[in-house]
């Protein structure tokens, strides 16, 4: 089976229930099965004031949805999974300039070797889809990003 290319998954609405309840456990299953690429990063973004470590704690280390799966695993493996998660605060609205998000994506891409392969997951209400898509396009985030701080 062909291994998936290195990539970054950017989740809009990452502080919400869907991410913690469904997306992160699904990613953990892929991680456990060795199905994630060697260089894989999850960048969560939303309107919540969190750090990378806060996001890791919330979605992985202290997650009620992963508790049963993680209790039998060693600390090193759990930490390795948690360390693929990063967070970027958009501020008070999804309808903002995404330049700081573009810089964060570019920096992570360069640092983590995701080769400009970026997927966007909108874990938001459908009413925000158009706004997010427009801002991604306006900031150049809908094109392949190869370097840092593009």
Task: Let me know if residue 105 belongs to a domain.
Answer: yes
Task: Let me know if residue 145 belongs to a domain.
Answer: no
Query: How confident is the model at residue 146, as a pLDDT?
Result: 54
Q: Which residue has the higher pLDDT, 74 or 137?
A: 137
The total number of structural domains in the chain stands at: 1
- Dist CA 114 CA 55 (whole Å): 20
What's the CATH number where 47 sits? 3.40.50.720
Q: Pick from 120, 112, 121, 119: which is nearest to 147 by CA?
A: 112
Task: Let me know if residue 148 belongs to a domain.
Answer: no
Task: Let me know if residue 35 belongs to a domain.
Answer: yes
Query: How confident is the model at residue 147, as a pLDDT?
Result: 53
**pLDDT tens digits for 90-112?**
988 888 889 999 999 999 999 99
Task: Let me know if residue 150 belongs to a domain.
Answer: no
Number of H helices, E strands in the chain: 7, 4
Q: Name the residue range of residue 57's domain.
A: 7-138
Q: Phi and psi for 73 in degrees, rounded to 5? A: -100, 155
Cβ within 8 Å of residue 115, ≥6 positions away: 5, 6, 7, 39, 109, 146
């Amino acid at each position: 089976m062909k291994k998936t290319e290195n990539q970054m998954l950017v989740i809009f609405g990452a502080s919400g229930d869907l991410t913690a309840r469904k997306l992160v456990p699904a990613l953990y299953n892929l991680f456990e099965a060795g199905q994630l690429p060697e260089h894989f990063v999850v960048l969560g973004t939303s309107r919540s004031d969190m750090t990378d470590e806060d996001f890791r704690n919330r979605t992985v280390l202290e997650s009620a949805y992963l508790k049963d799966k993680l209790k039998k695993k060693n600390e090193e493996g759990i930490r390795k999974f948690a360390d693929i998660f990063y967070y970027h605060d958009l501020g008070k609205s999804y309808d903002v300039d995404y330049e700081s998000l573009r810089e964060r994506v570019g920096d992570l891409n360069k640092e983590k070797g995701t080769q400009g392969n970026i997927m966007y997951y909108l874990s938001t209400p459908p009413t925000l889809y158009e706004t997010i898509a427009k801002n991604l396009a306006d900031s150049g985030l809908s094109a392949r990003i190869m370097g840092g701080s593009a």
